[in-house]
Structure 1
Amino acid sequence: MLFVGCSENSISATTKRNLRSFEKRKQAGETQLDMNKPKTIGFFSSQLNGEVILRNDKKGEGNQAPLTVHELMLETATKYPDLIALGIKKVNEWETITYIEYYELCRKAAKSLLKLDLERFHGVGILGCNSIEWLVANIASIFAGGISVGIFPQNSPQNCRFIADNSEANIFMVEDDWQLQKILKVQNHLPHLKAIVQLKGKLRKKLPHLYSWEEFLKLGVTISDEMLDRIIDSQKPNQCCMVVYTAGTTGPPKAVMISHDNITWTSAAVLQSLPYTYAPENQEILVSYLPLCLITVQIFEIWIPITIGASIFFAEPDAIKVEGSLINTLREVRPTTFFGIPEVWEEIQQKLKLDQMSATSFKKNMIVWAKKVGLKTNLNREHDAHSPFNFRVAKKLIYERVRRNLGLDRCLQFLSSGAGLSKETQEFFLSYDITLLQIYGMTECTGPHSVSIEKEFKLLSCGKAIPGSNSLLRQKDEDGMGEFFIWGRHISMGYLNNEYKTKKVFDPKGWLHTGDMGILDNEGFIHITGRIEEIIITNEGERIFPVPIEDMLKNNIPIICHAMIVGNQAKFLSVLLTLKCEVNEDTGEPRSILTKEVINFCRRNNSKATKVTDITNNQDPVIDDIIQRGIDEINEQTDYDSHKILKWKVLEKDFSITGGELGPTSKMRRSHITRMYQTTIASFYI
């Protein structure tokens, strides 16, 4: 069993007192927001100490009483004190802590932050991989009146310096010595920095104002509960508690200010749409493995779990690397909901393809048959509610076995967030009776704005807006496509220290201008086509969205890893292609050796290529012909020359985060790639 019975004896006197105070306010209909009426304010702010108007929906769905992060955590910790909250594997055993231990540990860490002189509305940078310490540092920063600032583990010292300076960070929490060295390189340029805490491992060298995690937790013993509670009680739902830095795929990272209410309301709103199970009878079991500095990941791996009393188990740091340990963790934990991004689903898809290729002839035929049955049944299910007999047979023989092998046999929902989930990938999983439920959103709306559910599922749709929020399209064309504007209590406070950008993206009536183009159909389903800055304008003034074409290229030509369409203000389109190749596990750098899958593909098509350099510069006529045929299939779908891909080039190196072509979330940085390969692109149009 992953949880035990609740016991009030495990709750400290201070926690009980805080709970009584919170319940008294709830019964009186009073919130932290009411206790100190704000001055005249608007929907947005660009200052860390600013306050904003909450967008209450007149219909009532967005009208829930606002909560602070502490109130949310306190309520769950006292409701489910002895349920397992967090688990992490050490050696060969899982070590766990309960919800009351989780809450008390956050308070203990918050006192230590106050001892280190964390100032109100000043940043606490958290640099490292997912762990119990990461979550505690995150929540403790908020309890102590600071601003939680998650940072991508791959960030350079210069990026860390920018974030620390921008958020006026007083404290840095670093995972290990490798991350510590980044901060030590730039600490002389950080005027607000007061201390650094290393979350894991022994300190290699004792330095002033540097503490191990164990040393840090002992610092706060002289800070009273009353002092911490005064700071907690001063916090209001409409104030900032977190700054999230965007991935910067279309420009410099932007610092998005997230309020207490953004977090607590968004978590509750998503739960109104998705069929999560609730503790204690049916406790959700989840795996945390995606970077927690992403707000969407935090909503699904920190805040929704706290809201419903779920158990979170942490994967190993190498979980999402090629051939990483994620599947092993899933098999051990067997989560009840799985949250992924397109890159993760593609990795799982690749694994299933390789398993099929290595199967015996009989089993391979069984898989092919089952996949055809699965896809046909799932695509037709809105017309036929009853599963045919052959589908039920295939489920017993293939689908259930695949889920067990992936560790997803207890999963009730499979969620996917982020751009780039192709139709081919969605249909692949449908053929295994796994429905990938797409989520649409952005950092500026605290992660999710719309979610898909299995009862109302549309292929290539991102579902419907969460309850209490609104969507509308502006500047629609004749096909009904326009830019999405969205509204609700999930809309963030604004951009830190950037009033100009805040006023440009967030309008005075409270709407967020997303920059995403798409269609809102008659049933309320959201269909995203692409971002405005990605649109290619031909020399005839026609608009072309590159992503669907790029997805088709990767589908038609299995050896392609990345495809980037170019051709702005040109007579025709061209494309830069990269091949699937092995990756250096330590650095993330792509190697020149092709993956086993690509080499096998080459052998089946009479090509001897084993390296990228065997194919570049048109050295392999067989592969050149395969690429051209894949492109020709796409060109046949249009009668306009300006919409056809007439030139292409295979690049000598795949795109990567370390190379700068991909952002931290593996999205292509198109403007950066265009600058890198401007000579190549220019040669297409000579």
Structure 2
Amino acid sequence: MGTWHHWTYDKYYNNCQTVAKAFIELGLEPQHGVCLLGYNSPEWLMSHMAAMMAGGQSVGIYLTSNPDVCQFIAGDCQANIIVVENDYQIHKILTCRHNLPHLKVIINCSADGTKSEQNVMDWKAVMQLGARQSSEKLYERMKLNKPNTCCSVIYTSGTTGTPKGVMISHDNVTWMCNRVIQYTKASMGAEHFVSYLPLSHIASQLIDIYVPLSSAGTVWFAQPDAMKGSLIQTMKEVRPTIFLGVPRVWEKIAEGMQLVANSLTGLKARISSWAKTVGLKGNHNKMAGKGTPFGWGVANYLYFKRIKTALGLDRCHFPMTGAAPISEETLSYFLSVNIVLHEMYGMTETTGPTTISVERAMRYRAAGKEPSGVKLRINNPDVSGQGEVLIFGRHVFMGYLRNPEKTASEFTEDGWLKSGDLGFIDADRYLFITGRLKELIITAGGENIPPVPIENAVKEQLHIVSNAMVVGDQMKYLSCLLTLKTVTDDKSGLPTDQLSESAIVECRLAGSSATTVTEIVQDRGDANVLKLIKKGIDEANKKAIAKPHKIVKWVILEKDFSIAGGELTPTLKLKRPVVMKKHKELIESLY
């Protein structure tokens, strides 16, 4: 894995001050942006903290953003400084620099960074510049930072359109950081975190920057290819104590574990199956306030501890999942191996998690209880108690940058934030999220159908399926676009035609010899795989609450969804409008 390089907190703090002094000298004005375009690194954290120290606003840009998006964000936040990771990222900024009147300098963190361009500096030169400055100007800037001033602007990932700049205040951050430490029971000087999810996301900033800073924790930076396969090796080396994974990460981990389990034979296979049964029952018992079943201690010794060690989670006391809905299948699988995933619910506009399920307040499929200091209510609930979740508390954002009209539309007349999420609160004040308003499919018959539960039901039945997207807005019935699990090209990040190892196993079990998607979808299709998928769809339809919620037609797409392909956000959420546009003719053919 290479050699680890270490920073003490003392060095970290001094470096942040040095960078902040350089930013001021380079022309950073109060409440102007410092854009950060690079993979997770110490330089990212130092630039982030330095921007706030100098009275500016830290603004992350997702690595996958194209030049147009980079230009929009840098222009919208009136960025004076843009910090980039390498030459590849700097070219995005150079192509639009002439349209950024507030931009004064670009900083290239790469050691072999571009030298010939005007107003481009490397990281070493920035540190040298900052070291030559006195601290007087910096201390004056730091006095400008008040609880109610904006310290960071986080742009939404744009699943439904143009990104919006969410203004986060110093008070938002400090209040929420304190809550997360209480939720996770983080111990001072004892916690270890793996930084791998995009730092442009509020959840990553909380877990990778603010919580470690407040608890004197150790942050370990994963390799840039973490999401492509190296993450597990990093986790084994680091052995994090608090770990956040988006649902797709947990799905990938579970997929790898299931492949290993399927290869077991004899006594090992019987022990694995028995232990998982004990694990699932035991954890459901715990949530219900009951004791563990017979054999729990033996299963823990023979199986659970070994699984956690193999994943690098043997000392992880708080594994979390968030940023998107997780399937019941994935949640149950980890319960069966005694890894209890703490679901958290929140949004960028709430500075991260509004609720987190914790051991003292955990219920299966719930996102946690209404916490102290936060108020929740359901707007216009239907007969089942479901409606839009409304939120009130100190963690609610300041508003959208330079967009007062949009800000006003996000709040009720009495000041509650409209989440856009559908859910209900049970008698014990547990919050359950059931869908998203903007994703609701309204059929020609007037039925309001949340697609995510249906899509999860399909994926639970069909382990060969990577993504399922239900369509049918204003149509007589529902259809479903399916993608199969395939190998990803390491260089481009695009899915290939080659089926993944787990997908090939499913094909063999179905009696198919296919190794590529093309073999399955060409001509009239692979009869055995098509039969497998039809059976899975039929089983998923049995869970439908009414006939309009059943899938009538389905089709297998030639390519899986990906970040590089534009169908997924950097946090692996589905961009439904992009998929709809890309496959418009195919969708129309289903009707």
**The one of 73, 77, 85 aligned to 1:163:** 73
Aligned-partner Cα distance in 2 for 1:354–1:341: 21
For residues 170-193 of structure 1, the C-alpha deviation after alignment (integer angstroms, 9 at most, x for no partner) is 111011111112111221221111
Aligned-partner Cα distance in 2 for 1:638–1:136: 50
Q: Which residue of 2 aligns with 1:99?
A: 9
Query: For the pair shown, which has the larger CA radius of gyration, 1 or 2?
Result: 1
Whether the 8 Å contact between 2:198 and 2:570 is mirrored in structure 1 is no
The 5 A counterparts of 1:409-428 are 409-428=314-333
The residue identity in structure 1 corresponding to 2:389 is: F
1:639 Cα offset (Å): 7.6
Q: Which residue of 2 aligns with 1:658?
A: 564
The 5 A counterparts of 1:304-319 are 304-319=211-226
Matching of residue 484 in structure 1 with residue 394 in structure 2: no
**The one of 575, 579, 588 aligned to 1:682:** 588
**The one of 343, 358, 366 aligned to 1:453:** 358
Q: Which residue of 1 aligns with 2:210?
A: 303
Aligned-partner Cα distance in 2 for 1:318–1:639: 41
Whether the 8 Å contact between 2:115 and 2:121 is mirrored in structure 1 is no
The residue identity in structure 2 corresponding to 1:665 is: T
**The one of 152, 155, 166 aligned to 2:62:** 152
The residue identity in structure 2 corresponding to 1:215 is: A
Matching of residue 174 in structure 1 with residue 84 in structure 2: yes
Matching of residue 223 in structure 1 with residue 133 in structure 2: yes
Shift in alpha-carbon separation, 1:383–1:119, aligned structure 2, 3 A = closer
Whether the 8 Å contact between 2:282 and 2:291 is mirrored in structure 1 is no
Whether the 8 Å contact between 1:269 and 1:467 is mirrored in structure 2 is no
Shift in alpha-carbon separation, 1:600–1:542, aligned structure 2, 3 A = same
Whether the 8 Å contact between 1:494 and 1:506 is mirrored in structure 2 is no
For residues 249-276 of structure 1, the C-alpha deviation after alignment (integer angstroms, 9 at most, x for no partner) is 1121111111111111111122233322
Whether the 8 Å contact between 1:451 and 1:465 is mirrored in structure 2 is no
Whether the 8 Å contact between 2:283 and 2:292 is mirrored in structure 1 is no
Matching of residue 649 in structure 1 with residue 555 in structure 2: yes
Matching of residue 127 in structure 1 with residue 33 in structure 2: no
Aligned-partner Cα distance in 1 for 2:224–2:50: 23
The residue identity in structure 1 corresponding to 2:585 is: T
**The one of 48, 52, 66 aligned to 1:142:** 52
Q: Name which of structure 1's ranges 381-390 and 417-426 shifts more when overlaid on structure 2.
A: 381-390
Q: Name which of structure 1's ranges 404-413 and 499-508 shifts more when overlaid on structure 2.
A: 499-508
Aligned-partner Cα distance in 1 for 2:27–2:288: 63
The residue identity in structure 2 corresponding to 1:549 is: I
Q: Which residue of 2 aligns with 1:20?
A: none
Q: Which residue of 2 aligns with 1:503?
A: 408
The 5 A counterparts of 1:246-395 are 246-279=156-189, 283-321=190-228, 324-383=229-288, 385-395=290-300
The residue identity in structure 2 corresponding to 1:437 is: H
Whether the 8 Å contact between 2:156 and 2:163 is mirrored in structure 1 is yes
Aligned-partner Cα distance in 1 for 2:236–2:330: 22
The residue identity in structure 2 corresponding to 1:326 is: L
1:290 Cα offset (Å): 0.7
Q: Which residue of 1 aligns with 2:26?
A: 116
The residue identity in structure 1 corresponding to 2:279 is: G
Secondary structure (helix, strand or coil) at the match of 2:7 reads strand
1:221 Cα offset (Å): 3.4
Aligned-partner Cα distance in 1 for 2:51–2:419: 29
The 5 A counterparts of 1:571-590 are 571-590=476-495
The residue identity in structure 2 corresponding to 1:629 is: K
For residues 39-77 of structure 1, the C-alpha deviation after alignment (integer angstroms, 9 at most, x for no partner) is xxxxxxxxxxxxxxxxxxxxxxxxxxxxxxxxxxxxxxx
Aligned-partner Cα distance in 1 for 2:370–2:288: 24
The residue identity in structure 1 corresponding to 2:170 is: H
Shift in alpha-carbon separation, 1:482–1:615, aligned structure 2, 3 A = same
Secondary structure (helix, strand or coil) at the match of 1:97 reads coil
1:313 Cα offset (Å): 1.0
Shift in alpha-carbon separation, 1:419–1:203, aligned structure 2, 3 A = closer
Unmatched 5+ stretches in structure 2: none
Aligned-partner Cα distance in 1 for 2:261–2:68: 45
Give TM-score, length-normalised by structure 2.
Answer: 0.97
The 5 A counterparts of 1:41-80 are none
Shift in alpha-carbon separation, 1:490–1:382, aligned structure 2, 3 A = closer
Aligned-partner Cα distance in 2 for 1:638–1:254: 35
The residue identity in structure 1 corresponding to 2:88 is: W
Q: Which residue of 2 aligns with 1:77?
A: none
Aligned-partner Cα distance in 1 for 2:284–2:455: 24
Aligned-partner Cα distance in 2 for 1:233–1:641: 62
Q: Which residue of 2 aligns with 1:635?
A: 541
For residues 268-321 of structure 1, the C-alpha deviation after alignment (integer angstroms, 9 at most, x for no partner) is 122233322223xxx111111111100111111111111111111111111112
**The one of 379, 382, 392 aligned to 1:474:** 379
Matching of residue 561 in structure 1 with residue 466 in structure 2: yes
Whether the 8 Å contact between 1:346 and 1:425 is mirrored in structure 2 is yes
Structure with the bigger RCO (C-alpha within 8 Å, sep 6+) is: 1
Shift in alpha-carbon separation, 1:383–1:163, aligned structure 2, 3 A = closer
Q: Which residue of 2 aligns with 1:545?
A: 450
Whether the 8 Å contact between 2:153 and 2:166 is mirrored in structure 1 is yes
The residue identity in structure 2 corresponding to 1:259 is: S
Whether the 8 Å contact between 1:273 and 1:467 is mirrored in structure 2 is no
Matching of residue 197 in structure 1 with residue 102 in structure 2: no
Q: Which residue of 1 aligns with 2:305?
A: 400
Shift in alpha-carbon separation, 1:639–1:431, aligned structure 2, 3 A = closer
Aligned-partner Cα distance in 2 for 1:605–1:241: 55
Q: Which residue of 2 aligns with 1:670?
A: 576
The residue identity in structure 2 corresponding to 1:424 is: E
The residue identity in structure 1 corresponding to 2:397 is: S
1:204 Cα offset (Å): 4.3
Whether the 8 Å contact between 1:127 and 1:152 is mirrored in structure 2 is yes
Aligned-partner Cα distance in 2 for 1:417–1:642: 29
Aligned-partner Cα distance in 2 for 1:289–1:382: 30
1:385 Cα offset (Å): 3.9
Whether the 8 Å contact between 1:245 and 1:256 is mirrored in structure 2 is yes
Whether the 8 Å contact between 1:491 and 1:512 is mirrored in structure 2 is yes
Whether the 8 Å contact between 2:347 and 2:353 is mirrored in structure 1 is yes
Aligned-partner Cα distance in 2 for 1:418–1:272: 20
For residues 443-494 of structure 1, the C-alpha deviation after alignment (integer angstroms, 9 at most, x for no partner) is 1111111011023211111102342111111110000001011011110010
Aligned-partner Cα distance in 2 for 1:332–1:675: 43
Aligned-partner Cα distance in 1 for 2:264–2:21: 57
Secondary structure (helix, strand or coil) at the match of 2:321 reads strand
For residues 200-221 of structure 1, the C-alpha deviation after alignment (integer angstroms, 9 at most, x for no partner) is 3222433222111111111123
